[in-house]
Structure 1
Amino acid sequence: MASWVLRTFSSREPQVMLTLWRALVQPTLDYCSQLWSPHEKGEIQRLEAVQRSFTRQIQGMRELNYWDRLKELNLFSQQRRRDRYRAIYLWKILEKHTPDPTNSSTLHSQYNKRTGRKCKRRTLPTKAPERIKTLPAASLGHEGPRIFNALPKQIRDKTGCTVDTFKAGLDRYLTSLPDEPPVPGYTDNCRAASNSIPDQVDLLARDAKTGFSGGSP
């Protein structure tokens, strides 16, 4: 679809390209991402490569590296979008706006006055082979709560409000969080374990302790 857009439309103006991207390409990448999200770096890179290649064709973007293109175009990486959707979906489950798709009653929250509302994670089978553990480790029931629990207390504790209100607070926070997806050629510049929200939150916490101020490659 991305290739069809580039063949069919001659304009490379940012507004035109981004409109076509959001209308024709992005929905396919987003589809059902709350329930399925790749965890292997190669699969993450394959999905990220679609947006990386497309944004390079936008007027004025060719000379910028991918991380800087995301900032300039005000886009989230594909991995960040999937994490965002999972955080929103978990909040909707906790608020009873949508049923628990795992149908296991494991996705529920616990409240602590100091730490706020946190979602219980699905436990992994300790005695199962590693290849069997991989599937539940990347599932909504296990990885979703990890993403949700990494968010600031004031976002996790939002309750009795609309989904749009929660999204607005979440998006304001995510724009302050480094978005550095693992793409070929950038690996040496990635300081966090991954570009997932929890790992980037941990990185910011470490930087705050050491006074480190990072930058793009």
Structure 2
Amino acid sequence: MRFNKDKRRALYLGRKNVRHWCRLGGDLLESSSEEKDLGVLVDSQLSMSQRCALVAKKAKGILGCIGKSVASRSGEVFLPLYSALVRPQLEYCVQLWAPQFKRDTELLERVQRRATKMMEGLEHLPYEERLRELGLFSLEKRRPRGDLINVDKYLKGGFKEDEARLFSVVPSDRRRGDGHKLEHRKFPSNMRKNFFTVRVTERWNGLPREGAESPSLETFKSRLDAALSDVLWAILL
């Protein structure tokens, strides 16, 4: 297989990286502080703040275009447009780049706040009431929901012995009733704690047994939504 050297960069991760020279064949690769991979911006410190800023900017631009081009502000018209065109920008591959800091979380949430406030009859309601009227979750709550759905998809797809496993299932002799508990690893680094495969294990293990053992994805989603009461949200978040 031939590779184009001009399209290859070396991205050194971490502050203590010794930055050895990387070669492609006999050619040295240029270093870079940030690169896009499948549309997701990753920097050398694995900080997702810049990614969050870019996502919020693009989503606000699309929301502004909708506001200028669509005369109706009724929920029946505006909500499907938001759900189809704006929210996917805020959630594309979010398992990889989920915000690490409160300021980034609020930056993304502000886009949905603005969208719900643009809808007719909801302008003067608090944000939480607007969400209830529209049947929406906040983005902050949708992210752990999406994490859990992706874990269910992965686990129900089965493991192959010759492939690397994202998760380690607790051995059967250590389980207490629930056959789908995941091993939870602890790391001193806050950055590592935010990795999808680390942050999601406690949330998954905190689910009721009937949720984790759902026979299908659709059943899992319905049981998950039913289980995500305010009390359980406090645990999962």
Q: TM-score, normalised by structure 1?
A: 0.71
In structure 2, stretches of 5+ residues that fail to align are 1-61
Correspondence list, 1:28-107, <5 A: 28-96=89-157, 105=165, 107=167
Please tell me the residue identity of whatever aligns with 1:170.
Answer: L
CA distance in 2, matches of 1:136, 1:90: 18
For residue 86 of structure 2, the aligned residue among 10, 20, 25 is 25
Stretch of structure 1 that moved more, 44-53 or 29-38 = 29-38
Tell me, yes or no, if the aligned pair for 2:147 and 2:196 is still in contact at 8 Å: yes
Find the residue that maps to 2:184 and give its secondary structure: coil
CA distance in 2, matches of 1:43, 1:4: 23
User: 1:168/1:26 Cα in 2 relative to 1: closer, same or farther (>3 Å)?
Assistant: same
User: 1:98/1:113 Cα in 2 relative to 1: closer, same or farther (>3 Å)?
Assistant: closer
String of CA shifts for 1:12-52, please: whole Å, max 9, x gaps.
Answer: 00111101001110111110012221121000000000000
Flag the structure with more relative contact order, 1 or 2, with Cα contacts below 8 A and sequence separation at least 6: 1
Q: Residue 11 in 1 paired to residue 65 in 2?
A: no
CA distance in 1, matches of 2:71, 2:158: 43
Q: Residue 177 in 1 paired to residue 230 in 2?
A: yes
For residue 196 of structure 2, the aligned residue among 122, 140, 165 is 140
Find the residue that maps to 2:197 and give its secondary structure: helix
User: 1:114/1:55 Cα in 2 relative to 1: closer, same or farther (>3 Å)?
Assistant: same
- In the TM superposition, structure 1's runs of 4+ consecutive aligned residues that sit over 4 Å from their partners are none
Q: TM-score, normalised by structure 2?
A: 0.65
Larger Cα-atom Rg: 2
Q: Which residue of 2 aligns with 1:201?
A: 235
Tell me, yes or no, if the aligned pair for 2:144 and 2:236 is still in contact at 8 Å: no
Q: Residue 117 in 1 paired to residue 180 in 2?
A: yes
Percent identity for Structure 1 against Structure 2: 31
Q: Tell me the C-alpha RMSD between the 2 structures.
A: 2.4
Tell me, yes or no, if the aligned pair for 2:147 and 2:200 is still in contact at 8 Å: yes
In structure 1, stretches of 5+ residues that fail to align are 127-132, 179-195, 204-217
Please tell me the residue identity of whatever aligns with 1:49.
Answer: R
User: 1:33/1:83 Cα in 2 relative to 1: closer, same or farther (>3 Å)?
Assistant: same
Tell me, yes or no, if the aligned pair for 1:106 and 1:120 is still in contact at 8 Å: no
User: 1:80/1:15 Cα in 2 relative to 1: closer, same or farther (>3 Å)?
Assistant: same
